[in-house]
Every structure is written in structure tokens, then in C-alpha cells.
Structure 1
Amino acid sequence: MRIDLHCHTTASDGKLTPVEIVQRAHTMQIRYLSITDHDTVAGIEAAQQAAAKLPASSPLHIIPGVEISCRWQGFEIHILGWQMDTEAAELAQLLEQQHVRRRERAAQIAEKLQAAGVSRQALDKVAASSSDNLTRKHFADAMVAAGDVKDIDSAFRRYLGKGNCAYVQPEWCSIEEAVAAIQSAGGYAGLAHPLAYQLSSKWLKRLLRDFSAAGGDALEVASGQQEKLHRQQLAELANDYKLKASAGSDFHGPSQWRELGRNLQLPEISEPVWQSWSLTE
């Protein structure tokens, strides 16, 4: 069964619209896809409508999802949610609060970038964005397009990354709040890309302990860009902390590095988070 529980659309910082990502997932022969945009569920309905129009002989099922930004010990941590009621009151309230925080942070980032001499062209491009859910990647993409930096990595190293001149400390919700909102909506909560936070082994285990104590359900064990050894280690950590395993590409758009559904097989020792979801092969 081909399943991908982590991808982004233009509802947050993805390159493809919900309809386009459904078309791509269908081409990649994915059976189950979760749309997990940052702090929003705005792209899910359009994706479900597009998937419903696909041939019955090769169906694609859209799993409602979200990726919620959280604060933890001075780090920004991302919590994935799946199978939630996207209209549940507690979840909707939390996402609205996150939206306000994100908008305020974007305004502060823009001010810092302007003071740092980033081109008006780049800042105007972000201001004109159709996205109502601006992220740092929107600024990075705009700076690349305007020629202020050569690539996204350079934008983060010089301006947007933590400790640099345009970084703004986010005031996100806590892990406990994110997990509670997801589960109150009938969903499952997973810790996204655990190695991306560049934590020491000691701190990673501390994060897993706190996430598990908050009632978290799963750890993202399999991702497309990953060494086999790292995947096995994450599978073992998931078991150690009594967490199920998830698999997701974190796809943001076509590139040579990431693809929907690619290289997402879980180790044999893992218990898939979707095992209790009554999914068919």
C-alpha cells in the first residue's frame, strides 16, 4: 500500500495547488495521501473534491491532516495531525490563533529584511502572495526570485535562520496544546521529521519523552531523504517511547530531492500509525 502522510500545498508553503498535488499523487500511484499544510486545513476540501473525480479503478484517498508549529525548550517543533474533524471547535480555535501569530511574525520578518537591505521586489512579492498563511519559505522563495540570494539555503543562512538578522522568535502553541486539539477532533498526533531539529541524542530523547507524556501517538520514522541507519534508529526510538510509526515525504514541490510517496517503507519492527484506520490495500 502506497501511503504518504506529510505534504504541503499552496495553502501554506507548497508549490502545487491541492488539485495539482492530487494529480501528481495519482500519477505516482499513491493510494492514501494526507495534506498537512502548516497551521491550516484550507487545502483539504479541494483535494478531496479532486480525488473524488479520479477513476474508480485507481482511487486516491485524501486523509485530513495538518502540521502545527509548536514551541518547546526554545526550539520550533512540528506536530502532525491526521484523521481529524477539520471543523472541530478546539482545533479551529487553535489554528486561528496560529494564523494570527504567523501573520504578526511575517510582518516583523518583512521589517527586518527591509532594514537588512533586501530588495523591494522580494518584499512586494511576498506581500502580493495569494497565501493567507505566510512562512519563512515564502520570503526565501521571493529572495531567490528577486536575485537577493542564490538559493533557499542561502536565504536561511544569511537572513531567516535562527540567530540571523531577520529571524523572529515565534510564539507558537505548546506541544501539549497541539496534541490536545488534534485528539479532541478525533485525530492522531505525530512528531514530524525528528532529525531536522538537529538535537543531540540526549535532547531528542527528552523531546520524545515530553511528546509521549503529552499523549502523542506517533513518530515520523520514514522520510524520503534519509539514511537506512537513521530510519532504523528512529524505529527503535518509536518503540522505546511506545509510539507508532508514520511515513511522509514532506513534499513541497517538484524537485530532484523529494517526491510524493518515494522511499517511505517502514522497518519491520515498526507499528504503522494507520494500522487502526481501517484502510484497504
Structure 2
Amino acid sequence: MSDDLYAVVGNPISHSKSPKIHSLFASQTGEAVDYTAIQAPLDGFSETVAEFFARGGKGLNVTVPFKEQAWGLADRRTARAEKAGAANTLYQDEGGKLVADNTDGQGLVSDLTDNHGLSLAGKHILVLGAGGAVRGVLGPILAQGPARLVIANRTLARAEALVALFADEAGTTELSACGFEQPAEPFDLIINGTSASLQGDLPPLAPAVISARTVVYDMMYAATTTTFNQWALDQGACQAIDGLGMLVEQAAESFKVWRGVSPATAAVIDRLRE
């Protein structure tokens, strides 16, 4: 019997670690999974998805720049995908309807809490950026019950729009928005959801947001310390974490959505670090 077909779709896609991650999951769990990478034309995402499922594909991961298109293409969305406004996981239900999910936020929270032993409950958290990456993780972060969550962005209106969108999920969390320059007190956790690190740039933050108890998390990852994490360490942050664990954890959540099996992630993260 042939293995079930899965893939990651993006443009560009040659750099993707997803095929390696899912092949490690498959060998670890004994699941019959054949996982590849597909580069879709920038103007041909929906056709690529239709063709994949027409030839018997079981599930797709979706990465840049197609996550919003994946969300719009779906016949049905999970609650977490609905609020995220983007989807990184697609599959067909029993009736052949296309279902969109978003596992990014769960991946981030799992990396912070399971892999790094951090509790978000009662913490003061600063999130940098107000784009799709941040929108996708706010719900799961708020579900952890931080005392305060501040969204800082270059364009204040975009951060304020996210505060309005997630107000119903804030619970007892004090949720607010500001520009990058405004915060002037230390936070327990700062999450960089901008892509500035990849260009070697930094949001214009005051060093006062960092104290000796501050943990920083860059959703980007690189072979060396990211620009943002290095800046934070230079200001005296106690710990700096990159987004590789989040990448593996969101993949594990997708694997669970598709296969009903939760793979162990620690060994896979270690393999990718080698």
C-alpha cells in the first residue's frame, strides 16, 4: 500500500525544513506519510491546491505568501483559523470540503511552555508587529492568561485593529496597543513577530523594555543568533529563544490534525540544530 501524500506549498520553498520534519515524525510514529515541497506560481495557488487534492493528497501545509489565500479558499475554517485570518494547514473532510486550520499559535505556545518551561499566566508580554504572523498567535497566547499584553507596531492603527479583534478573547488580560517607541518599562516576555531580524534590522525599541528577568522570543530563526535576540542579550535579557522550536511544534500540531497522532518534538528540534 502506498504512503499518504502530504506537502508544504509556498513560493519560494526550496529552503523549507518541513519535509525533513515530517519525515522524522513519520519514521518516529510509524505513520505512512510521503511529504514533499511544492512551489506554487504566485498567481496559481488555488490551482495548485485543487490539483494536489485531485491526485489523492491528504493534507497541505501552507507558508509564505499563501496563508491568507488558503484561508479564503476554504469551505470551512476551525475557530483558531477563523480568528487568525490565515491558514497554514489544509485538509478535506469526509464530504470532500476543504478545511483550513492554523497551528502557528499553538506551536509558539508549546515551544514556550513545553520546551522552555515558561508559564505565560500572569506575565507582562510585549508583542512586536501586527501582521499575519502576530494575528495567528494572539489567540493561543491570550488563552494562557497573561496579566498584560501590549501589541507594538510601526503603524499604530494596525495594532489597535488587533486589540479590537481579540478583545473578546482577552478575559482578564489587559490588552493594549502602542507604537514601537512607546514602551518604557520592562516586560517578562517580548515576542518579535516582525521579519526585521531577517534583514538585520531592529524595531526602534527603548532598551528599558529589557530587564535581567526578560525572556525574548524571535519568531524567525537562523543558524546564528538573530539580530533581535542579540540586541536583547546585549541589553541584559536573561534568555533569548528563536523560532525553530515553534516551526517544529506547529508542524507537530498539523501532523496531529491530519493523523490523530502527536509526535515527540525534542529529538526533531535537536536534529535540526545539528
- Structure-2-length-normalised TM-score: 0.31
Q: State the structure with bigger RCO (CA 8 A, min sep 6), 1 or 2.
A: 1
- Structure-1-length-normalised TM-score: 0.31
